[in-house]
Structure 1
Amino acid sequence: MTTDHAQAVALRAAAFIFSEDDLRDRFIALSGAGVDDIRARIGEQDFLASLLEFLMGHEPDLMAFSSYAEEKPETIVKAWRALGGGEGQEW
């Protein structure tokens, strides 16, 4: 998994999350990020990893995104790891 591919997956995750009212509201509530924070950080690797981690934290969301992005769930986990997610964690 290249960093470029991981970033592309994460940017599709952003489009998916922010196009769904329930997901967007839950992400904002859990992350504490405001709209300005999101705009400022959308290009940062750790923020992109947090979007993928958010989806991975609830299997129905992960599966819905997997279908939306036409990516296997395993690919999403690999993208998360390529962006620095999960250091010291097992998934």
Structure 2
Amino acid sequence: MNLDRAETIALQALAWIAADEELLPQLAGATGMSLGDAKERAQDPAFLAGILEFLCMEDRWIQRFCDEHGLPYDAPMKALMALPGQQRGEWP
């Protein structure tokens, strides 16, 4: 997966989480960030990696997100691994 595609998936995940009444408070609680803070950091690859890490904490979140966006279930993890500083050799 290339960097542009990974960033696009991460931004889709951020928008999806922000629109979800269950997940947005959990993200805020986990990070201490407001939605405004998230908007300000939306172009930061490290922040985007954090969004994907949060999404990947729960299989049911991954499934819902991917189903709604027509993505394979491994897309969020592949996107995470494609972001700068996240590359790991063991992920196919």
Indicate whether the TM-score tops 0.5.
Answer: yes
TM-score, normalization by structure 2? 0.87
Match for residue 80 of structure 1?
80
Instruction: Please give the alpha-carbon distance, in whole angstroms, between the structure 2 residues aligned to 1:60 and 1:35.
Output: 23
Q: Give the root-mean-square deviation of aligned CA atoms.
A: 2.0
Q: Which runs of 4+ in 1 moved over 6 A?
A: none
Unpaired runs of 5+ in structure 1?
none
Unpaired runs of 5+ in structure 2?
none
Matches within 5 A, 1:9-88: 9-84=9-84, 86=86
Tell me how far 1:69 sits from its aligned partner: 1.5
Secondary structure at 2:43 match in 1: coil
Measured against aligned partners, the alpha-carbon deviations of 1:16-51 in whole angstroms (never above 9, x if no partner) come to 100001111100101111233212211100111111
* Code of the aligned partner of 1:42: A
More moved, 12-21 vs 27-36: 27-36
Q: May I ask how many residue pairs the two structures share in their alignment?
A: 91
Q: Tell me: CA distance 1:57–1:85, structure 2 relative to 1, closer, same or farther (3 Å).
A: farther
Tell me how far 1:87 sits from its aligned partner: 5.6
TM-score, normalization by structure 1? 0.87
Instruction: Please give the alpha-carbon distance, in whole angstroms, between the structure 1 residues aligned to 2:41 and 2:72.
Output: 26
Q: Tell me: CA distance 1:72–1:85, structure 2 relative to 1, closer, same or farther (3 Å).
A: farther
